[in-house]
Structure 1
């Protein structure tokens, strides 16, 4: 009987040591378990844009998390050409077309324009269910380190606008990967 008590006590002390070690590591490296220096990037926080020839409609917007950044992906239907975009921080998020201010939560607002309408240009049928001034459908940002809010602005004159609330004005990058436009925002400067 004494052996089981000794084994249980040893196991409890070992577990307590592991918890204490894990707590110290998390405190030093942040919630993702990586130190800010391990995630250094050469990204900037200034406006970035590119012209594109694709007129493929937007199909979906989704988000994901990485150890060093939060990611927003714009899924486009069957594009083979370059997609245009304009991305930069703004003081207030104004709906494209109307100019109406749409509140976006966070310490900074990253405005994203993608040269892809949220409707089929031939039929007028909606291809992405975003509604002006409303959160992005299906996007849940609970637990994200950088992202705080994501609001649909408009789909106007062949482009879609999104307001992305971030914790602070942090470095970001934008790139196209196949039929996706990707916006990554770093967790740290």
Structure 2
């Protein structure tokens, strides 16, 4: 009986002393976006009209407003943001850079600018943001408009188009504060 009791005590002790297997960490804020290229096909002549940013609890958001149905887009991490047409490099602050190409021009059908930032190297003030470090205008060429987004580090992001208000639409790019 004593031997059986000692066996049970040793067995229970072994379970208490052995380290537990590491639990799988829950995704940050439930975000499971990843950091690979995000894109959608399509081309539109609806012009870009504005670029704005916002802060959220788990991510920073960039919004590109389009006057009509937005075309497609491509968003990807790049070694350096480049200007449309010329390929001229544009330096951005931060540990990583996203090149954002909207398949919409920044001019109307008469080639009058519909989006002409006062400072192409500082589209919005992102001081105090968790992830964003700088938003730059990389130009509009042959129906495409490009932006550069300097971020703290290569972090997960998502990109999608929202309709409205009215007949307008907008490309949204969210970048998580951490993995």
Q: TM range, normalised to the smaller chain?
A: 0.7 to 0.9
CA gap of 1:63–1:132, structure 2 versus 1, over 3 A, is closer
Which whole-Å CA distance do the structure 1 matches of 2:89 and 2:170 have between them?
A: 28
Partner of 1:5: none
State which of 155, 163, 176 in structure 2 corresponds to 1:170: 155
Q: Is the 1:85–1:114 contact (alpha carbons within 8 Å) kept by the matching residues of 2?
A: yes
Q: CA deviation at 1:132?
A: 8.8
Consecutive unaligned residues of structure 1, counting only runs of 5 or more, are 1-35
Deviation at 1:40, TM superposition (A): 3.0
Give the Å deviation of 1:173: 0.3
**Corresponding residue for 2:121?**
134
The question of whether the paired residues in 1 share the 8 Å contact of 2:61 and 2:173 is answered with yes
* 1:143-162 alignment runs, 5 A limit: 143-162=128-147
Cα distance in 1 between the residues matched to 2:113 and 2:85: 18
- Cα shift at 1:78: 2.5
Structure with greater Cα Rg:
2
Q: Is the 8 A contact 1:131 1:152 kept in 2?
A: no
The CA deviation at 1:101 is: 1.0
SS in 2 for 1:46: coil
- 2:51 is aligned to 61
TM-score by length of 1: 0.74
Which residue of 1 is the match for residue 84 of structure 2?
96
1:113 paired to 2:98:
no
Deviates more, 1:92-101 or 1:165-174: 92-101
Q: Select the residue among 80, 84, 92 that pairs with 2:72.
A: 84
| TM-score after normalising by structure 2 | 0.78
Larger mean Cα displacement after TM superposition, 123-132 or 170-179: 123-132
CA RMSD of aligned residues (A): 1.7
Q: Give deviations 1:37-62, integer Å, cap 9, x for gaps.
A: 55131101001111124320000000
Q: Which residue of 1 aligns with 2:7?
A: none
CA shift at 1:135, angstroms?
2.2
Runs of 4+ in 1 over 6 A off after TM superposition: none
Counterpart secondary structure, 1:39: helix
Task: Find the aligned partners of 1:151 and 1:53 in 2 and give their Cα distance.
Answer: 22
CA deviations 1:98-142 (Å, max 9, x no partner) are: 11111111010011000111111x211100013795322xx1101
Structure that is richer in helix per residue: 1
CA drift of 1:68 comes to 0.4
